[in-house]
């Protein structure tokens, strides 16, 4: 008996023409593991970052501009006393994902094994930013981190910022080797005929969305995070009774930290000579990348602007 091949690190797009709905599914495996292993996060932080990265893959892969970028950020404003998670950042560009979490390890240890979203973020907010490189357009929406999960916060984002009824489901688990695996489902209802039409009160005018939403809500976290279950099978399980389901190609996902010595030198060159001297120790400026946890030692002379 052969073991089914793992279906990991990609997305699949699909549409339900008769229901005026579109969706995509995603699953992360080795990409997620590479991001997580750079930091050795405790279990609650690993889980929330895995969910956030999966959501970032789902949303980022909707970008029509392949050079564009989606950034997801969650944090608590300082004036509210700060949450245990000080900052969570993920971004997607051209199929590449990266992300990290800055958190208070001491306070986290006091909460036990399964802290709530509220306990982690303490009335924080979720910001989702779409940068379209081709046109230079930038759009950002911000919503409170309400609800019990990152998925619920994302649904609130689309209801409030985009006025598009949406369903988000996320699941996190571990494979036989103990490696983290995460999957997600993203469904949206769009006005009949076009994406840019009137979006307000969509549920009132298109009750078929309730049918799609009800089916999507049956998708379990275990199914989403099961690497042996092909993504196309997830779509089939949900919508096999529909008249037509159009499954399109998706995106292959990769870990993509964009830091390197040349880039860091170009950033340091924008500072004054006095600032660079203050940053240096024994003639070397050491820059830490929060995403990949690497250190880049740059000699002060190499950081100077090139003639």
- Which of 55, 15, 11 is closest to 188 using CA atoms? 15
Radius of gyration of the chain (CA): 21
What's the distance, CA 111 to chain centroid?
25
Mean pLDDT of 223-245: 95
Q: What does the pLDDT look like over 263-288, one tens digit per residue?
A: 777 777 777 788 788 887 877 777 77
Stated pTM of the model: 0.86
Q: What does the pLDDT look like over 63-91, one tens digit per residue?
A: 887 888 999 999 887 655 567 999 999 99
- Residue ranges per domain, the chain? 10-255, 261-303
Q: Which fold has domain 10-255?
A: Hsp33 domain (3.55.30)
Helix (H) / strand (E) containing 23 = strand 21-28
CA distance 199 to 190: 7
- Which of 202, 171, 203 is closest to 185 using CA atoms? 171
* Mean pLDDT, the chain, whole residue set: 85
So what's the pLDDT on residue 207? 75
DSSP for residue 159 = I
CATH number assigned to the domain with residue range 261-303, chosen from the 4 options 3.40.50.300, 3.40.50.720, 3.90.1280.10, 3.90.1150.10: 3.90.1280.10
Question: CB–CB of 97/256 below 8 Å?
Answer: yes
CA distance 74 to 55: 12
Parallel, antiparallel, or unpaired: how do β-strands 96-103 and 85-93 relate? antiparallel
Q: Do domains 10-255 and 261-303 have the same CATH topology?
A: no
Q: What does the pLDDT look like over 146-184, one tens digit per residue?
A: 888 999 999 988 888 778 889 999 999 999 899 999 999
- Of residues 114 and 48, more confidence is placed in 48
CA distance 109 to 7: 34
């Amino acid at each position: 008996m052969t073991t089914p091949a793992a279906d990991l690190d990609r997305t699949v797009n699909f549409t339900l023409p008769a229901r005026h709905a579109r969706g995509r599914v995603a699953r992360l495996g080795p990409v997620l593991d590479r991001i997580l292993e750079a930091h050795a996060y405790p279990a609650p932080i690993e889980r929330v970052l895995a969910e956030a990265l999966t959501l970032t893959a789902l949303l980022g892969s909707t970008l029509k501009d392949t050079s564009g970028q989606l950034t997801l950020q969650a944090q608590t404003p300082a004036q509210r006393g700060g949450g245990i998670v000080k900052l969570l950042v993920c971004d997607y560009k051209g199929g590449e994902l990266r992300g990290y979490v800055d958190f208070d390890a001491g306070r986290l240890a006091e909460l036990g094994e399964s802290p709530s979203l509220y306990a982690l973020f303490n009335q924080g907010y979720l910001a989702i930013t779409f940068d379209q490189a081709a046109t230079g357009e930038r759009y950002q929406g911000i919503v409170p981190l309400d609800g019990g999960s990152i998925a619920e916060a994302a649904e609130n984002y689309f209801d409030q910022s985009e006025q598009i009824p949406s369903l988000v489901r996320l699941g996190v688990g571990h494979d036989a080797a103990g490696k983290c695996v995460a999957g997600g489902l993203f469904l949206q209802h769009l006005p009949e005929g076009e994406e840019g039409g009137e979006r307000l009160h969509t549920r009132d005018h298109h009750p078929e969305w309730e049918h799609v939403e009800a089916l999507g809500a049956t998708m379990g976290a275990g199914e989403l995070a099961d690497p042996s279950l092909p993504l196309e099978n997830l779509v089939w399980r949900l919508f096999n009774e529909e008249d037509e389901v159009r499954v399109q190609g998706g995106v292959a996902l990769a870990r993509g930290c964009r830091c390197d010595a040349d880039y860091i030198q170009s950033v340091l060159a924008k500072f004054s000579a006095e600032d660079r001297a203050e940053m240096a120790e024994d003639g070397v400026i050491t820059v830490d990348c929060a995403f990949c946890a690497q250190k880049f030692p740059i000699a002060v002379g190499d950081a100077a602007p090139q003639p």
